[in-house]
């Protein structure tokens, strides 16, 4: 079980590093340049797959940690 948790954690780190930077205009948030920063951005293709894979790996990491805690 610890080996599976280790593999999932390494995959989760790698997938998070592969994600695109969604805070491209972070300086505009502070200065108020763009009020609707994330409104027009939709994930498509590979970006959508990576986002869903990140969610799945995070949920499985959480569940495995809970199961290991109660054993």
Note whether residue 67 is domain-resident: yes
Note whether residue 33 is domain-resident: no
Q: What pTM was computed for the model?
A: 0.69
**CA–CA separation, 50 vs 31, rounded Å?**
31
Note whether residue 4 is domain-resident: yes
pLDDT at position 36 is 55
**CA–CA separation, 32 vs 25, rounded Å?**
10
Per-residue pLDDT tens over the stretch 21-50: 665 555 555 655 555 555 566 777 888 899
Helices (H), the chain: 2-18, 26-31, 46-70
pLDDT tier, 5 (very low <50, low <70, confident <90, very high otherwise): very high
pLDDT at position 11 is 95
**CA–CA separation, 59 vs 54, rounded Å?**
9
28 Cβ contact list (under 8 Å, min separation 6): 34, 37
- Tell me the residue range of the domain where 61 lies: 1-16+45-71
Total domains in the chain come to: 1
Note whether residue 8 is domain-resident: yes
Note whether residue 62 is domain-resident: yes
């Amino acid at each position: 079980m610890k080996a599976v948790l280790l593999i999932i954690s390494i995959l989760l780190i790698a997938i998070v590093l592969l994600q695109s930077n969604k805070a491209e205009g972070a300086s505009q948030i502070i200065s108020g340049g763009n009020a609707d920063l994330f409104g027009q951005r939709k994930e498509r293709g590979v970006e959508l797959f990576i986002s869903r894979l990140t969610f799945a790996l995070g949920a499985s990491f959480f569940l495995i940690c809970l199961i290991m805690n109660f054993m």
